[in-house]
Amino acid sequence: MIKLVGVVIVVVGLLLRFNPLLVVLVAGFATGLVGGMGPMEVLEALGNAFVTNRYMSLFVLTLPVIGVLERHGLKEQAEGFVSSLKGATAGRVMMLYMLFRQLTCAVGLQLGGHPTFVRPIVAPMAEGALSKGGELDPDLSDRVRAMAASAENYGNFFGQLIFIASGGLLLIKGVMDQAGHPVDLMRMGMYAVPTAVCAFAMAALRFHLFDLSAKRDLERGGN
């Protein structure tokens, strides 16, 4: 049971609101020492774990970068740009973003996401297209953001399976091969194309209906 001291240190440290990184390091050292490892062995284990999983830090790095851009007016610029475009609507913005996500995912490029695109760019652009420089009701604004998030989910989910090296297809192939039913990745990717097209058509209809509903809400609010 003494080897669980690291868990206790993490729980107590976070409850007392100590520095999370320091708490985790202390917990790691305590667990290693109790487990019979020397100080240098613990350091080596921590270093190897960091080097092996260093790619995970890329996601963490995007958050402060997006925060700095937002602080310097990224959302306002995106909203103002779309507000000046004639014919731009919230639904069309989401539709174009979904198409962009499907196409990039289909060739194996992950160039979007909720923290990097939807929150700082797509959602403000959709709000700007709807408000045209005015203020939106908080409830309507939340609906716009939710719809923008759904565009990301639709595009990513139904686009990535077209790429033959995607994790989803490889997982399916592995399971099918082990079950004695070998499948071809290229053929699986081709079968995903009609699904992606249907998903885009249905999402486009949903975004169009949202435009109509949001327009009615704005007119009702103006009256």
| pLDDT given at position 62 | 60
CA separation for the pair 136, 126 (Å, rounded): 11
Q: In which region does residue 133 sit, left (phi positive, over 0), alpha (psi from -120 to 50) or beta (all else)?
A: left
Question: Based on the number of CB atoms within 10 Å of its own CB, is 148 exposed (0-12), middle (13-18) or buried (19 or more)?
Answer: buried
Q: Residue 142 burial (CB < 10 Å; 0-12/13-18/19+)?
A: exposed
Q: CA-to-CA distance for 101 and 53, rounded, in angstroms?
A: 26
Q: How far apart are CA 113 and CA 150, in angstroms?
A: 11
Residue type, 207: F
pLDDT of residue 67: 65
pLDDT at 150: 94
Sequence-ordered list of residues with C-beta below 8 angstroms from that of 183, at least 6 positions apart, any chain: 172, 173, 176, 177
In angstroms, the CA 122 to CA 39 distance is: 48
Q: What is the pLDDT of residue 99?
A: 94
Tens-digit pLDDT string for the chain (223 aa): 676 788 888 888 888 888 877 888 888 888 888 888 888 888 887 777 666 655 555 555 565 666 666 676 666 666 666 766 777 889 999 999 999 999 999 988 877 788 778 888 888 888 888 887 677 888 999 999 999 999 999 999 999 889 888 877 888 888 888 888 888 888 888 999 999 999 999 999 999 999 999 988 888 765 4
Residue 4: per-residue pLDDT: 76
Question: Which residues 6+ apart lie within 8 Å of 99 measured at CB?
Answer: 155, 200
Q: What is the pLDDT of residue 74?
A: 62
At 154 the pLDDT is 93
